[in-house]
DNA sequence: ACTTTGACTATAA
DNA sequence: GTTATAGCCAAAG
C-alpha cells in the first residue's frame, strides 16, 4: 500500500467532485490543486482516468474554451458529447453551449 | 539521470 | 476574429 499520491490521483478526486449537469476546466482544477500553470498535467493525468475506479467523469472536463478537447479519448464516437447531453448540457460542434452557465469551479462552488 | 510528451493557457502578431 | 509561439510541470520511456 503506497502512501504517496500522484498528481493524477489528486486530479481524479477533484473531477469526481464535479456535480452532474456541470462542467469544469483543466485550468480551474489545476488552480484548485495549487498548480495553476499545470493545466496540461491535469489533462495528461486524465489519460489514466478511464482505468481508475470509481470512474472519473472526465466527460465533464473541458478546456477553458468550453471545447471537448478530449472527446477523442472517449472513443471514435461522440461518446463524450452524448454523456454531456444526457446530463442536460447542450453541446454544439464539440463546444459547450452556455458554457459559463454550466461551468463549475471547485474553488468557488466547492461542493456547494 | 536525460529526453520526450501531452485531454492546456496566455500572450503576440 | 484567427494563427503561431512560448511557458508550464509531472509522468513515462
pLDDT digits (tens, 9 = 90+) for A53-111: 899 999 999 999 999 999 988 988 889 999 999 999 999 999 999 999 999 999 887 65
Residue A44: CB less than 7 A from any atom in strand C: yes
- Closest nucleotide (C1' vs CA) to A68 is B7
Task: Give the CA A39 to C1' C12 distance in Å.
Answer: 18
Nearest DNA or RNA nucleotide to A37 (CA to C1') = C8
Q: How far is the CA of A97 from the C1' of C2 (A)?
A: 21
Q: Name the 3-class secondary structure at A103.
A: strand
State the pLDDT confidence band at A34, using cuts at 50, 70 and 90. Answer: confident
**How much is the pTM?**
0.90
Give me A37's grid cell: 500553470
Neighbour-count burial of A12, counting CB atoms closer than 10 A to its CB (0-12 exposed, 13-18 middle, 19+ buried): buried
Q: Other C-beta atoms within 10 Å of A86: how many?
A: 11
Amino acid at each position: 500500500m503506497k502512501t504517496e499520491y500522484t498528481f493524477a490521483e489528486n486530479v481524479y478526486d477533484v473531477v469526481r467532485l464535479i456535480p452532474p449537469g456541470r462542467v469544469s476546466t483543466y485550468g480551474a482544477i489545476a488552480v484548485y490543486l495549487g498548480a495553476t500553470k499545470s493545466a496540461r498535467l491535469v489533462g495528461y493525468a486524465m489519460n489514466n482516468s478511464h482505468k481508475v475506479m470509481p470512474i472519473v467523469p472526465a466527460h465533464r472536463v473541458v478546456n477553458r474554451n468550453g471545447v471537448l478537447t478530449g472527446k477523442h479519448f472517449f472513443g471514435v464516437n461522440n461518446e463524450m458529447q452524448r454523456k454531456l447531453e444526457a446530463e442536460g448540457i447542450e453541446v454544439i460542434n464539440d463546444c459547450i453551449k452556455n458554457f459559463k452557465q454550466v461551468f463549475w469551479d471547485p474553488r468557488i462552488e466547492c461542493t456547494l
